[in-house]
Amino acid sequence: MNSIVIPVYQNATVLDSLVANLQSIAERACAPLEVLFIDDGSTDGSAERLRELISRGTNFQSRILRHNENRGAFTAAQTGFAQAAGDYIATMSADGQEPPELILRFFAELANGRAKVALGYRTDRRDPWTRKILAQLYWRLLRWKTGAPVSPWGVDVLAVTRDVRDWLLVHCPIPNQMVVALYSSGFAWVDVPFERLGTRQQKSHWTLRKRIRYAFASFTYRPGRITP
């Protein structure tokens, strides 16, 4: 069995497409699929819509977990990772920003045994040029601060083997350190390039304010300086 963890926050309008994509992934996957939806304090009926869609029947197992308040996508992902039962565990956005084929490529890369971590490496973004510039500046800031070789387009989705998941739960208790921690963990990783699709939602919930807060909350390997 393989698992997909999907943070859900105010995504009610795009869940039909999400479930259809998951059906496509499950149909082509080489192992049974488990999907964990983490409703991160949505107030738009996302959890109720998910239950309705799943009740119609799916070709994958699923669970819906809920936070009583919005805690952020990284915390939601950690909640799902802790509950996942798969040999390989991937993350996926709820709003359709990644092609479904990417998840299958993640699982294939981990199955060949050469890496224990697969990181989604964006080659481009189908976003307005202003958002592209801000996003690139943000990820370059994170790369400079942490010293981790993060893609200039960022890493939002990834997959790991179960033993890496276990390591993360013990050694990375702060959720928003997950991506940077993986680069420094010592586990072999592979970058999986993909072209990010435009979000199906009119407004992204991953705001500039949240990006900056994440960047400055991340730990760094750069030595501190003491000045007189």
pLDDT digits (tens, 9 = 90+) for 112-145: 999 999 998 877 656 566 666 666 676 666 666 5
Separation CA 102–CA 83 (nearest Å): 22
What is the domain extent for residue 84?
2-217
- pLDDT per residue as tens digits for the range 54-100: 999 999 999 999 999 998 888 899 999 999 999 999 999 999 888 88
Whichever domain contains 165, its CATH number is 3.90.550.10
Whether 45 and 8 have beta carbons less than 8 Å apart is answered as no
DSSP 66-87: EESS---HHHHHHHHHHH---S
| Length of the chain counted residue by residue | 228
* Bridging pattern class, strands 158-161 and 88-91: antiparallel
Q: Is residue 112 part of a domain?
A: yes
Q: Is residue 228 part of a domain?
A: no
Q: Is residue 150 part of a domain?
A: yes
What is the Cβ-side half-sphere exposure of residue 122, based on CA atoms within 13 angstroms? 21
What local confidence, expressed as pLDDT, does residue 147 receive? 57
Separation CA 207–CA 220 (nearest Å): 22
Overall pTM surpassing 0.85 (yes/no): no
Q: Which residues are registered as beta bridge partners of 63?
A: 36
The number of folded domains in the chain is: 1
